[in-house]
């Protein structure tokens, strides 16, 4: 628990936002958007 408290004390707002963005990239909607863009770039007629 001491290690977790130490990590909590070094919080930086910029890193919080960065980590939230990384977490959002794991969301299925973000994955679908990236997959559809990639598919469209490979074959525009099918995309």
What pLDDT, on the 0 to 100 scale, is given for residue 46? 64
- Residue 47 has a pLDDT of 57
- What distance separates the 2 farthest-apart alpha carbons in the chain? 56
Give residue limits of the domains in the chain: 2-42
The C-alpha atoms of residue 15 and residue 41 are separated, in whole angstroms, by: 32
Q: In whole angstroms, what is the distance from residue 47 CA to residue 32 CA?
A: 13
How do residues 5-47 score in pLDDT, each as one tens digit? 988 888 888 988 998 988 888 888 888 888 888 888 887 776 5
């Amino acid at each position: 628990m001491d290690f977790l408290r130490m990590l909590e004390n070094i919080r930086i707002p910029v890193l919080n936002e960065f980590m939230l963005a990384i977490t959002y990239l794991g969301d299925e909607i973000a994955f679908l958007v990236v997959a559809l863009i990639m598919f469209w770039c490979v074959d525009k007629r099918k995309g």
